Amino acid sequence: MITTIPIQRYLKILLAFLPLLGFSQRSTAQELQLVKGSTQATIIIAVNANPVEQYAAQELQRTIQLMSGVTLTIAEAGQTVTGPRIVIGTPASSTEIQSKSAQMGLGGSNEEQTALLRDGNTLYLAGNSSRAALYATYTFLQERLGARWFWPGSTGEFLPKQKNICVNDLNISVAPSLKFRSVAVTNPPAGDPDTDTWMARNRMNVINIPAGADSDGAKTNLRKQKGFLTRIGSHNIVLSVDTLMAHREYGALVGGVRQVGTAAKPAHLCWSNADLQSVIANMIAKWWNDNPYNDIIHFYPADQPQFCECSVCADMGDVSTRWQKFSSLVIAKVNATHPEKKYWTYAYQGYRPAPQVTPAPFEYIGYTLYNGNYRGLLSGTDAVNAVPKGEMAGWLAKGAQLGIRGYEYIIFKDPMTVPLVSWEIDQLNWAHNNNLIGSMSETPAYGYPKGTAPENTTWTVNRMTLYAAAQAMWNSSVSPQKLVTDWCTKIYGPAGGDMSAYYWYLEGAWRNAPGSVTYFLNAPASEVDNVFSPAKFQQLFTHLADARTAVPAIVDATKRSRAELSIATEMNMLLNWQKNYYYKTGNAGNYKTNVIKTTTVNETLWQNTPKLLPFRELTGQAAAEQTDVKIAWTATSLAFKIVCNDNAIGSLKSKYLSRDENVMADDCIELFIQPNPANAAYYHLAVNAKNVRYDAASTGGSNEDKSWNPEYTTATSLQANSWTLNFEIPFSSLGITAQDAAQFKLGIRRGRAGRAPNSGWPEASSNPGSFGTATLYNVTPPTKRIIFYDAGGDSGDMSVTFQEGGWDAARVDTLEADLTTQLDNQHTDVLLIRYTTAKFKLSTAYMSGKINDFMQNGGVVILTANGDIPVNTWFTGTPKVDWSGSAFDPIRKSIYVREGTWLDSTNNINTVIKAGVTPASGYMPADTTPGVGWQIMASMKMQDATAKPYLLIQKKGQGMLVLSSSAMGYSGGYEMFGNRNTLNIVKLAENLLWRNKHPN
């Protein structure tokens, strides 16, 4: 028998038992309604709340208004308020919070202990300090309301629309994983408002300010309002040239000479000099006087490795030990007038290893982690990372308050996207677990340099990693997988899955590539072929295309536009890598073509128009049956003549006979034309052998709109062993402005109806990432070409830089036959030959014959060598040279430079030659008679104070022979023409070409 209990009686029984079960009627009976219907919470701050707490209230008010459309009122404590409340403050500023501080887990020594508590009708956003209360506000907005600030500025703000904003039970007490959290913004030095705001919203707490007069604190307090601790920091323990000229004893003794440096490259100082210590102490004291509202002075010496060699400095110990002893003495002097101030420094260059003494009283020492491996996790067993981990352990054992100063955002000298989310989170989790207290990696601010496309700015190419770093500094246990999923879902909506797949594929390609990547400002070409391959590019572009196809499902037009723009940015960042890959692998020429203007399209035109490079199959191999394509343009239209060679013409397939049917399944030609290289939208046109057309428009994914039906003309004809398509389409149909130097993207694919593999130019693909670049020219443009004879070296970085500068480039390893092919293939302007006795395979007969002829006919040969070189046996009339050996002066500066227009035509290389780091050796010529012997262009100083030329030239017929002891891009690091300065080699080559034509 079933007994029915009236509902009223049932509720009474249930409520009677709830206390016994441990439930609170008050906290679970209903949600706290902050915004719902006519209910609107009031934000409460203290009477005369400080600027940080006021800012927290304003940020909460602003964000909720953007989410819900409702502007909450901000009131002061003590005012009569009805309805739900949000109280922001600290135990010191709010008696309410003080009364609940134990419940919230507040108190103790951590000033950034943060608490969120819902208690009845009130939500408390509190902390041990005003900064912590601000972070409680951001924690609530992010973790409970879903607010995201992925990158600076309005485009990086993602706020979900919420008609109702309600809170159930909430009791969170949390402290950040790292005490000091920041990004070392290098440009602009005075900061960027959008970047500042992003850092604050992502709970970073330290920001740099420039040293300068700020006696009223206006500049400093504007940023302190956002919760920041402010620091003055740079390579600032330097003195002016004038000061060092007046007090030579203050300068570092290097090579027996007291250094004075230059304004651009200051000298190190003699840290053991007691008077110098007082000068520096007074300088720091003045910084405090000029910036009384500043929190931290971060000081460290000049950014170069030529430390003082005097005996007194040497007696102080190794460079790290000297720096800590010097800093202790200086801080003690400053403390006499400015006690209890806070100081930071770096462990960098020669003072990166742990010292032999207890560190100076620095609140924070940033270990410069440029010697770590950006591919290996710090938590793992990577051999490269063992060195920095060991050095950091040494600092910690000495009692240092240590953090990380990173360079992961400037791994490459050109901004390149590097997928480091997992690596970054692991690094910061390792730091937290090993008692490091902070992180601050270097990058320019968001949007800098101004006027630069986003995909070419450092912040944008690192935007996901920067966001991951911000989150992991606050909570080092954040999951990389969840973070990437959250990012992609909120930015891309229904395309989020495809973009997550894209990211993880890219990260896998980076992490699984061979070798290690360390330091900073590397050439992208050094890694591009380790990370990428044609197949990997295709997979990545496929993910992006799939994402584009999913984006139209986003109903909200603004969200849809933002997703499309973000995918386009990712595409452009990937294209930067792809372009670099083509340059490095010598395939760049396959991905570009020049289209020359004509007045009339006829057979005479086609007979004199060069063909596109051979069609390739998806495997990258040349197609067995080639397709000959010629392109021209008139004032109004783009024209093609395409001949499809076919040894089985009788088997030609043309099944589809109506427009916009699937003619791509026939023997056909497909054209993919992307009018604007910066916009992924393209047009797809196809014509089969029976002249049946297909035409459609795409936004950049696999979706195609066949309602696009432009005006254009086509004609096909059949030959014995081929079929031909003549195709002409007005520029007006494509939206292309026809003018000299205009560019558009182009792909051509030949479909074989299953009879043979498809092929195409530049690839047999319909993916926009595989399109080549077509450039319209009124006349054929001039070109410059260089050949690198590597002799076992790697000219890849140089080859990329030359091609980026508009040169054609070819590379030969060792064989004479390969070099002959390149020299005979087309006109060449410069031949750069690396000479090493181990790998050099060019015979004396070849040098005196083929190479000499090249110079006699106007070519420039640049020889790079480091040791004895038999130039006098190779070339008749060339005097012998004697190698200097490598006993060079430690200050590697030019002591002689031949003045003349060669230094500024066509590039200004005065600074490069006169102020750059010289090679480590030189060559002394046996004869420098004008018109007969060598002409010395620049010399370096040896250890014995003698001058040895490192750049020599000799005229050879219509050409020129150049000899340099520079590594010329094959190694050399920061040497003026080293592998970290490949752009200087391009400039030198262009100037030498000019000099060859203007010898006087």
Query: Options 3.30.420.40, 3.30.70.360, 3.40.50.880, 3.20.20.80; which CATH number does 784-997 get?
Result: 3.40.50.880
Structure tokens that stand for 168 in this block: 């159930």
Query: Are 350 and 389 contacting, i.e. CB atoms less than 8 angstroms apart?
Result: no
* pLDDT confidence tier of residue 935, bands split at 50, 70 and 90: very high
Residue found by looking up tokens 């710090």 in the block: 378
Evaluate if residue 125 carries a pLDDT over 60: yes
pTM of the model: 0.86
Identify the top-confidence range among 494-508, 530-544, 609-623. 494-508
Where does the pLDDT of residue 25 fall: very low under 50, low under 70, confident under 90, or very high at 90 and above?
A: very low
Mean pLDDT of 979-986: 94
SS (H, E, C) 741-782: CCEEEEEEEEEECCCCCCEEECCCCCCHHHCEEEEEECCCCC
Instruction: Give the alpha-carbon dihedral of 892, 897, 903, 909, to 10 degrees.
Output: 10
> How sure is the predictor about 10, in pLDDT bands with cuts at 50, 70 and 90?
very low
Question: Looking only at Cα atoms, what is the longest distance across the chain?
Answer: 125
Q: Do domains 26-174 and 784-997 have the same CATH topology?
A: no
Taken in order 954, 956, 959, 962, the sign of the CA dihedral is negative
| Residue 11, phi then psi, degrees to nearest 5 | -65, -40
Taking only the tens place, the pLDDT of each residue in 675-698 is 998 777 899 999 999 999 999 999
In this predicted structure, what is the pLDDT of residue 9?
35
Instruction: Write out pLDDT tens, residues 343-382.
Output: 999 999 999 999 999 999 999 999 999 999 999 999 999 9
pLDDT of 707 above 60? yes
> What values do phi and psi take at 342, rounded to 5?
-110, 135
Integer distance in angstroms from the first to the last C-alpha of the chain? Answer: 119
Q: Is the pLDDT of residue 911 over 60?
A: yes
Confidence check: pLDDT of 26 > 50: no
pLDDT by residue (tens digit) across 196-230? 999 999 999 999 998 887 778 888 888 999 999 99
Provide the angle, in degrees to the nearest 10, between the axes of the packed helices 480-492 and 421-433.
Answer: 140
Three-state secondary-structure class, residue 940:
strand
CA distance 968 to 833: 10
Give the mean model confidence (pLDDT) for residues 790-813: 92
Average pLDDT of the residues in 782-806: 92
The CA-atom distances, in angstroms, between 67 and each of 57, 73, 142, 152 are 15, 15, 12, 18
How far, in Å, CA of 178 to CA of 478, rounded? 13
Which are the contacts of 76, defined by CB distance < 8 A and separation ≥ 6? 44, 45, 46, 47, 49
> Is residue 941 a contact partner of residue 950, using CB atoms and an 8 Å limit?
no
Burial environment of residue 141 by CB neighbours within 10 A (0 to 12, 13 to 18, 19 or more): buried
Alpha-carbon radius of gyration of the chain: 34
What gap in Å lies between CA 87 and CA 83, rounded to an integer?
Answer: 13
Collapsing DSSP states into helix, strand and coil, what is residue 606?
helix
Dihedrals φ, ψ of 430, to 5°? -60, -45
Q: In this structure, which topology does domain 588-777 adopt according to CATH?
A: Immunoglobulin-like (2.60.40)
- pLDDT for position 217: 85
Reported as a single tens digit per residue, the pLDDT across 618-630 is: 888 899 999 999 9
pLDDT bucket at 7, cuts 50 / 70 / 90? very low
DSSP secondary-structure letter at 859?
A: -
Q: Note the pLDDT of residue 517.
A: 95
Contacts of 725 (CB under 8 A, 6+ apart): 640, 641, 642, 644, 669, 687, 714, 715, 716
Q: How far is CA 981 from CA 187, 687, 831, 853, 915, in A?
A: 21, 49, 19, 31, 13
- pLDDT given for residue 436 in this prediction: 98
Please report which residue ranges of 146-270 form alpha helices under DSSP H.
Answer: 193-201, 218-224, 241-246
Instruction: Please give the angle made by the CA atoms of 888, 892 and 895, to the nearest 5 degrees.
Output: 95
What average pLDDT is seen over the chain?
Answer: 93
Q: Of 484, 463, 618, which Cα lies nearest the Cα of 538? A: 618
pLDDT per position as a tens digit, 571-617: 999 999 998 998 888 777 788 899 999 999 999 999 999 999 899 99
Q: How many CB atoms lie within 10 A of CB 476?
A: 20
Per-residue pLDDT at 24 exceeds 80: no
- Beta carbons within 8 Å of 336's beta carbon, 6+ residues apart: none
pLDDT of 782 over the 90 cut: no
Of 218-232, 582-596, 661-675, 916-930, the poorest mean pLDDT is in: 582-596
Q: Whose structure tokens read 């199959």?
A: 617
Give the pLDDT of residue 354: 98
CA angle 119, 124, 127 (to 5 degrees): 135
Q: How far apart are CA 894 and CA 908, in angstroms?
A: 16
* Strand-pair category, 713-718 with 722-730: antiparallel
In the chain, domain spans? 26-174, 588-777, 784-997
Could you give the CA distance from residue 595 to residue 740 in angstroms, rounded to a whole number? 10
Averaged pLDDT, 403-418: 97
How high is the pLDDT of residue 4?
34
- Which tokens sit at 887? 């006993």
Q: In this structure, what token pair is assigned to residue 754?
A: 């299953």
Provide DSSP, 377-417.
-TTTT-HHHHHHHHHHHHHHHTT--EEEE--GGGSBSS---
Task: Please count the other Cβ atoms lying within 10 Å of the Cβ belonging to residue 817.
Answer: 7
Sign of CA dihedral 832, 838, 841, 844: positive
**Which residues is 722 bridged to in the sheet?**
645
Looking from the CA of 815 toward its CB, the CA atoms found within 13 Å total: 4
Q: By percentage, how much of the chain surpasses pLDDT 90?
A: 88
Give the closest residue to 963 by CA, choosing from 895, 861, 867, 873. 861
Query: Does position 68 have pLDDT exceeding 60, yes or no?
Result: yes
Tens of pLDDT, residue by residue over 710-751, are 999 999 999 999 999 999 999 999 999 999 999 999 999 999
Does pLDDT of 17 surpass 60?
no
- Output the pLDDT for position 587: 76
SS (H, E, C) 40-106: ECEEEECCCCCHHHHHHHHHHHHHHHHHHCCCCEEEECCCCCCCCEEEEECCCCCHHHHHCHHHHCC
How is residue 614 annotated by DSSP?
A: P
Task: Give per-residue pLDDT as tens, 72-116.
Answer: 999 999 999 999 999 999 999 999 999 999 999 999 899 999 999
Map residue 7 onto helix, strand or coil: helix
Average pLDDT of the segment spanning 939-948: 95
Nearest-angstrom CA–CA distance, 968 and 966? 5
CATH number for region 26-174: 3.30.379.10
Q: Of 584, 501, 508, whose CA–CA distance to 546 is shortest? A: 501
φ, ψ of residue 147 in degrees (nearest 5): -70, 140
Edge-to-edge strands, sheet with 229-237: 180-185, 438-443, 402-405, 364-368, 342-347, 296-301, 229-237, 206-209
8-state DSSP, 494: G
| Consecutive H or E run containing 596 | strand 592-597
Q: What are the DSSP E strand ranges found in 867-976? A: 881-883, 894-897, 923-925, 935-941, 947-956, 959-964
Mean pLDDT of 765-776: 88
Q: Which amino acid is at 441?
A: S
Q: Are strands 42-45 and 85-89 parallel, antiparallel or unpaired?
A: parallel
The DSSP symbol for 689 reads: T
Helix (H) or strand (E) holding 282: helix 274-290
What is the rounded CA–CA span in Å between residue 36 and residue 72? Answer: 12
The pLDDT assigned to 768 comes to 81
Average pLDDT for 951-978? 96
**Rounded average pLDDT over 660-677:** 96
Query: Is-contact 552 532, C-beta < 8 A?
Result: no
